[in-house]
Amino acid sequence: MAVQFILSVLSGALSVFLVSFVWNFFSGRQVIPTRHRPAASEEDEHIQILVLGDIGRSPRMQYHAISAAKHGRKVDIVAYKETARHPDLIGNPNVTMYALTPQPEWIAWGTLPFFLQIPAKVLHQFWTLFSTLMYATPAAQWIIIQNPPSIPTFHVALLVSLIRGSKLLVDWHNYGHTILAQNPWMKPLVPLYKWYELWLGRYLGNANLAVTDAMARQLRGRQFKLRNTVHTLHDRPAELFQPITSPEERRAFLSRLAETKADAQNIVDGAVRLIVSSTSWTPDEDFGMLLDALVAYANPVPDTTAESPSPILAIITGKGPQQKMYIEKIQQLQEARQLPGIRILTAWLSNRDYASLLACADLGISLHKSSSGVDLPMKVVDMFGAGLPVAAYSAFESIGELVREGENGCGFETTEQLTELLRRLLGLDGQELGALKRGAIQEGSLRWSHEWDRVVWNIISPQQEAAR
Ligand SMILES: *[C@@H]1O[C@H](CO)[C@@H](O)[C@H](O)[C@H]1NC(C)=O
C-alpha cells in the first residue's frame, strides 16, 4: 500500500502541475505565479495563515491571524471554512479569507474502494491547496503553517516558497505521524508519513514554533535536527476567557443557561459541584475514565467516618464520533442507579457561553492523552483563562509546563487517582479548591498577545530582519 501511495502522490503532483499550467494558459489566466517583492510600506506586506483543516476549529491559527492583523499586516487565511470563525476575524478590514474547496462527496467513505480513497483525498487536497497558494492569493512575505497535517502541506508549501519567494514559519502543534499511529488501520502508512514529516520538516521552515519547551527540544534534537531556529510559543487564553469572581454575576449566568438553570442556586451555595470537561469524543480522550471515576465517587465503600460525596453536575461539551455510544452508556448507568447524586449532561455551546461556563464552574477535567508526549491541551489553557482549576490526565512529559501540581491544578494517571481527586477537591470545605482557583487565575493572567509580540513578531517583522 505504501508504494501505491507514493506513486499516486508523485504522479498526481506532476499531473496537477501540468494541468494547472495548461488550464491557466488556455483560459487566458496568469501562468507564472507572482513573486513576493518587498512592499514600499510594511503595512502592505501579506502574511498568510495556512491550515489544512477548519479554521473555526483552529484557535491557535486564528490567534496568529488576529495578532498579525493587529500589527497592521494584510492577513490572508487559507483553510477550510466549516464552523464559525472567531468574531475578531469577521469583518476585519485587514483579513481576507481564501477558503479551500471542501472534499467532494465521491471521495467520502463507501463510494471509492479503500485503497483509492486516501490517494484521492490527498490529490484533491493537493489540487485545491496548490491553486489557492500559487494563484489565488497575493504573494506573501511569510506563510505561517500549521503542522499536522504534514501531508500534503509540507511539499506544497515548499514549492510555493521556492516559486513565489515567501518565507515559511512552521508552527508545530504536534506530530502528524504520532497522531496517525493512533489509528490501527493507518499503521502501515506511519513509517512513510514519519519519513516525509521529518525529512521535509527539517528543511522547510525559515523559522519554527513549538507549543512546548519539550517539543522544541525534540525538534532541535537528534531525531528531527531542524536546520533553522525553533522558538517556544506557549498557548495562552484568548481575551474571551476571563474569570468571574462576583457571586451575583455567577448566579445570573447559571440561571440563564439551560443546562444549569435548575441547579444555579445550589451551585453558588456550594451544595452542588459543577464540573466541566470538553472533549472531541475520540479514543485518544478516554471519556470512560471520567465516567468510571464518577461511578466510583458516587458509590463509596461504606465507611462510617467518610462524609457523603457532594452532588455533582457534570457538563461535557464538544462533538465527536464516540458521543452517542457514551450517551447510551450514561443512560444505562443512570437506569441502573449507579450514579446517585450525579447528573451528566452533554452540550454544544457558543464560544461566549462556553467561556462563561468555565468561569462559573468549580473544576475542569482534561482527559487529553498526548500522542507525541510533548503537546498540551489548549482547553486547559482556556480553563486557566477563565480562572478554573483543573484535574488533568498527566502521564506525559510536557504537562508540567502547564499544570503545576497543587498550584493551579492536579494530575491523575488512573481512574482511582481521579476518583480520589474528586473526593478531595469537591469535599465540603473547599479550601484546597480555593487555593487552586487563585493559582489558575494567576496562570491565566498571562495572555496570548503578549507572548505573540515577544516571540512571533520578533521573527516576522522586517526591522528585526534588518537588525540580524
Ligand atoms: C488594521 O490595520 C491598521 C493599520 O493598517 C490598524 O491600525 C488596525 O488596528 C488594524 N485593524 C485590526 C482590526 O486589526
Shortest-distance Cα residue to atom 3 of ligand 1: 72
Query: Does the structure show a pLDDT above 90 at 10?
Result: no
Cell matching residue 460: 516576522
Percent of residues, the chain, with pLDDT higher than 90: 70
Q: What is the pLDDT of residues 21-50, one digit of tens each?
A: 677 667 766 678 888 988 888 888 999 999
Angle at the Cα of 134 from the Cα atoms of 130 and 139, rounded to 5 degrees = 140
Q: What is the mean pLDDT of the chain?
A: 90
The closest-lying atom of ligand 1 relative to the alpha carbon of residue 88 is: 13
Is there a contact between 142 and 168 (Cβ–Cβ < 8 Å)?
yes
457523603: which residue's cell?
Answer: 308
What pTM value is reported for the model? Answer: 0.82
User: Lowest-pLDDT range, 205-219, 235-249, 302-316?
Assistant: 302-316
161 C-alpha to ligand 1 centroid (Å): 26
Q: For the chain, how big is the Rg over CA atoms in Å?
A: 24
Highest mean pLDDT (candidates 10-14, 116-120, 355-359): 355-359
Q: For the residues of 170-228, what is the DSSP string, one character each?
A: EEESS-HHHHHTTSGGGGGGHHHHHHHHHHHHHHH-SEEEESSHHHHHHHHSTTT--SS
| 83 neighbors 62 (Cβ within 8 angstroms) | no
Lining ligand 1 with CB less than 6 A are 43, 69-70, 72, 92-94
The predicted pLDDT at position 110 comes to 66
Nearest atom of ligand 1 to the alpha carbon of 66: 14
The CA 72 to ligand 1 mean position distance, Å, reads 5
Give CA–CA dist 46/72, Å, rounded. Answer: 10
Task: Name the burial class of residue 422, with classes exposed (0-12), middle (13-18) and buried (19+) by CB atoms within 10 angstroms of its CB.
Answer: buried
Q: Which DSSP string corresponds to 229-296?
A: -EEE------TT------HHHHHHHHHHSTTTGGGHHHHHHTSSEEEEEE---STTB-HHHHHHHHHH
Helix 190-204 and helix 2-26: axis angle, to 10°?
50
Per mean pLDDT, which range of 45-49, 142-146, 151-155 is the poorest?
151-155
Respond yes or no on whether the N-terminal peptide bond of residue 302 is cis (omega within 30° of 0). Answer: no
pLDDT exceeds cutoff 70 at 468: no
